[in-house]
């Protein structure tokens, strides 16, 4: 018996980093293809393996012939795929699906998906109950810093953008994961305790929320969120929603002694940090940032960038994403029709 919701995937492309999860992700992609083929009773699912950093963006950017692109991986994989999809005109833009097998899966968590911690398994059942949901995305326009002439770059983030100690923590997890073998929240916690050691400092910045006055802040952490969590489940902006046309900002500004800042950071795991007098929450449509130095740690969905200044703004309803319905509410946040394509456009890709 065919599953009506899986039928709505149409012609789908699975993008996977074959060396992720110590090489197990490639096998997971093959099992996902067999799973979808079995339930849909048709061959309409292709696999594209990445070969280098940013390759997933390149693959997604030329995927307009597909109805759905499935990102198999963590937040980094979803980030790259979403950036590629945003290069496709909205009328031809495929739907985004997430199969969370990464070390950090915060966007998947926002959608209500459960991590596939054992990638040798075959539990892709969340796709059986998923339907298209309208999702906002964040557009980040920034001027690069570092060697060479400054360049203007536009990128997108599905879940988080941050600078300061929280960004330093996220960036450090890449090397700490290889050294320690930790993943998820324990990895982020270990990196956090390290950052609050000798690396503890504040980050002077000029900030302008929407069209308000410019503020001069000495920030410690500064997170701009589309969804509530970062760092594998730290509930940094508890009210953030991917479909409200707003972005949420949480920042702590100094001077704050390390002995005070560390407990506040730890309390963010459960969202209790919002009661601290040092923590501030904003709900906005855009924020302009000018950094006092060009070497600040900055990350977008866990991916590091270098910038002197940046504007982050919400793009409402930019993506259609697959979201399971059995996550505590009867209907998806908002339903969007998948783009209708002529039969002749559904040609395969090797």
149 close to 332: Cβ distance less than 8 angstroms: no
CA dist 147 and 144 (Å) reads 9
CB neighbour list of residue 260: distance below 8 Å, 6 or more residues apart: 278
Which domains, from first to last, does the chain contain? 4-136+319-345 (3.40.50.10330), 160-300 (2.60.200.40)
Confidence of residue 3 (pLDDT cuts 50, 70, 90): low
Q: List, for residues 309-334, the tens digit of each pLDDT value.
A: 999 999 999 999 999 876 544 344 44
Give the best-scoring range by mean pLDDT among 8-17, 111-120, 180-189: 8-17
237 close to 250: Cβ distance less than 8 angstroms: yes
Residue % of the chain over a pLDDT of 90: 63
Q: List, for residues 97-112, the tens digit of each pLDDT value.
A: 999 887 778 999 999 9
pLDDT for 189: 83
Q: Which residues pair with 130 in a beta bridge?
A: 324
Query: Cα 125–37–21 angle (5° rounding)?
Result: 60
HEC assignment per residue over 87-110: CCCHHHCCEEEEEECCCCCHHHHH
pLDDT for 58: 98
Confidence of residue 139 (pLDDT cuts 50, 70, 90): very high
Phi, psi of 343 (to 5 degrees): -55, -35
| Residue 181 predicted with pLDDT over 90 | no
* pTM: predicted TM-score of the whole model, two decimal places: 0.88
DSSP per position, 127-175: GGGEEEEEEEEEEEEEE--SSSS--EEEEEESSEEEEEHHHHHHHHHHH
Q: List, for residues 29-75, the tens digit of each pLDDT value.
A: 999 999 899 888 788 899 999 999 999 999 999 999 999 999 998 89
Q: Please write down the long-range contacts of 174-182, taking CB distance under 8 Å and 24 or more positions apart.
A: 177/103
Please give the helix or strand (H or E) that residue 12 lies within, else none: strand 12-16
Average pLDDT over residues 180-192: 82
Average pLDDT, the chain: 87
pLDDT for 11: 94
Q: Between residues 326 and 350, which one has the greater pLDDT?
A: 326
Q: List, for residues 203-250, the tens digit of each pLDDT value.
A: 999 999 999 999 999 999 999 999 999 998 999 999 999 999 999 999
pLDDT for 109: 93
Candidates 37, 42, 38, 47; CA nearest to 13 is: 47
Candidates 260, 296, 298, 293; CA nearest to 279 is: 260
Q: List, for residues 117-133, the tens digit of each pLDDT value.
A: 555 555 688 887 889 99
pLDDT for 93: 98
Secondary structure of residue 227 in the 3-state scheme? coil
Q: List, for residues 328-349, the tens digit of each pLDDT value.
A: 443 444 434 444 443 333 333 3
pLDDT for 271: 95
Q: List, for residues 156-175, the tens digit of each pLDDT value.
A: 999 999 999 999 998 998 78
Please give the helix or strand (H or E) that residue 287 lies within, else none: strand 286-291
237 close to 247: Cβ distance less than 8 angstroms: no
pLDDT for 326: 61
Instruction: Quote the distance between the C-alpha of residue 241 and its chain's center.
Output: 13
């Amino acid at each position: 018996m065919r599953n009506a919701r899986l039928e709505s995937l149409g012609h789908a492309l699975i993008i996977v980093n074959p060396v992720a999860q110590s090489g197990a992700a490639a096998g997971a992609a093959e099992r996902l293809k067999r799973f979808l083929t079995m339930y849909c009773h048709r061959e309409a699912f292709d696999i594209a393996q990445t070969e280098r950093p940013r390759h997933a963006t390149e693959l997604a950017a030329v995927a307009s012939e597909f109805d759905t692109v499935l990102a198999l991986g963590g937040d980094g994989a979803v980030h790259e795929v979403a950036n590629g999809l945003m290069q496709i005109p909205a009328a031809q833009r495929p739907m985004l699906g997430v199969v969370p097998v990464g070390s950090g899966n915060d966007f998947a968590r926002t959608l209500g998906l459960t991590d596939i911690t054992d990638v040798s398994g075959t539990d892709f059942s969340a796709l059986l109950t998923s339907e298209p949901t309208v999702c906002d995305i964040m557009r980040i326009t920034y001027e690069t810093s570092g060697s060479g002439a400054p360049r203007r770059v536009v990128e997108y983030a599905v879940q988080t953008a941050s600078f300061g100690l929280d960004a330093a923590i996220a960036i450090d997890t890449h090397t700490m994961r290889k050294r320690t073998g930790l993943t998820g929240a324990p990895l982020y916690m270990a990196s956090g305790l390290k950052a609050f050691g000798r690396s503890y400092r504040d980050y002077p910045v000029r900030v302008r929320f929407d069209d308000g006055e410019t503020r001069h802040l000495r920030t410690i952490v500064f997170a701009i969120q589309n969804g509530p969590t970062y760092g594998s489940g730290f509930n940094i902006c508890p009210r953030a929603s991917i479909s409200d046309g707003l972005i949420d900002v949480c920042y702590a500004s100094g001077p704050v002694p390390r002995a005070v800042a560390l407990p506040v950071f730890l309390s963010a795991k459960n969202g209790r940090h919002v009661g601290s007098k040092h923590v501030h929450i904003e709900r906005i449509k855009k924020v302009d940032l000018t950094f006092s130095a060009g070497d600040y740690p900055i990350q977008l969905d866990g991916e590091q960038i270098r910038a002197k200044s940046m504007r982050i703004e919400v793009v409402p309803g930019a993506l259609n994403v697959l979201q399971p319905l059995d996550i505590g509410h009867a209907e998806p946040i908002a339903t969007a029709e998948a783009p209708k394509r002529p039969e002749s456009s559904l040609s395969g890709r090797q």
